[in-house]
Structure formats: structure tokens, C-alpha cells
Amino acid sequence: MDENFSESLRRIKIETRVQYGLMFLFGSLSLVAAFAPLGELTKIAVVAMLFGFTAGLWVSHLIQLVQRAVADGTTGQ
């Protein structure tokens, strides 16, 4: 199973791998910041900023997938 998993990771485009990595990074950092011993206002600002980065990457990833599908003529049917 590990061989199939590593092969499937290699087939993913590098841009997609970078986007997934950044989404994971910013999502993890937002969870860490949520439990960090910071002031309430600081914690809210940091978590909101990191979550915003995560959501922005996710939306741009979805837009990129739709653009690729349209360019390839894929309808999903």
C-alpha cells in the first residue's frame, strides 16, 4: 500500500503538492495559535490571519482545478 501511496503522490502536479503543503502548514499553525498562551485579542488576530491564508489557498486550489478541467474539456460525467 505504501508503494501505491507514494506513486499517487508523485503523479500529483508540483503546484498541487505545494498548495496542499501550505494548507496543512497554515492550518496546523492556526490550531497551535488557538491554544497558545497569548492575549485574547492577539490570539484572535493570529488565528484569523492564519485561517484566512488557509482558506485563500483552498479557494485558489479549487479555482485552479476548475480551470484545468475546463481547459481539458473534462465534464465529470
- Alpha-helical runs (H) found in the chain: 2-11, 14-34, 40-72
Count of domains forming the chain: 1
Whole-number percent of the chain with pLDDT over 90: 55
In a domain, 24, yes or no: no
pLDDT of 19-31, one tens digit each?
A: 899 999 999 999 9
* Straight-line distance from the first to the last Cα atom of the chain, in angstroms, rounded to the nearest whole number: 29
Asked if residue 43 lies in contact with residue 34, where contact means CB atoms within 8 angstroms, the answer is yes
In a domain, 66, yes or no: yes
What is the C-alpha to C-alpha distance for residues 51 and 30, in angstroms, rounded to an integer? 6
- The structure's pTM equals 0.73
Q: Is the C-alpha dihedral spanning 29, 30, 31, 32 positive or negative? A: positive
Determine the structural domain holding residue 56 and report its residue range: 34-71
In a domain, 47, yes or no: yes
In a domain, 41, yes or no: yes
Average pLDDT, the chain: 86
Tell whether the model's pLDDT for residue 58 goes beyond 60.
Answer: yes
Weakest-pLDDT range from 8-17, 38-47, 57-66: 8-17
Tell whether the model's pLDDT for residue 2 goes beyond 60.
Answer: no
